[in-house]
Structure 1
């Protein structure tokens, strides 16, 4: 897995827990998950923007 052994992974996880704390870790994980999900959604959407004017029947002008 990316050239990392179990010792390196445990060390990285330990540092992350020290930095963020055990209580903040779920919030950080869910925020990261939402960010990845939004990035995937944005990258899969079409690049074109619809600029056609919408027909509104309630216009008084």
Structure 2
């Protein structure tokens, strides 16, 4: 039986990015996804840019 350092639930953007970073540090990660495939749309459904901005603290937003 293979062992893993980390088990990641969900092959969305955060899960896949986490697995890549962990692998870069020499850790063995298992990514579990309930759907049979990942992509082609690997993003949060229904989240608009305006919705994301509202959750970012004002002091962290750089205005152009």
* Band the TM-score falls in, shorter-chain normalisation: under 0.3
TM normalised by structure 2 equals 0.27
Larger-gyration structure (1/2): 1
TM normalised by structure 1 equals 0.28
Bigger proportion of residues as strand: 2
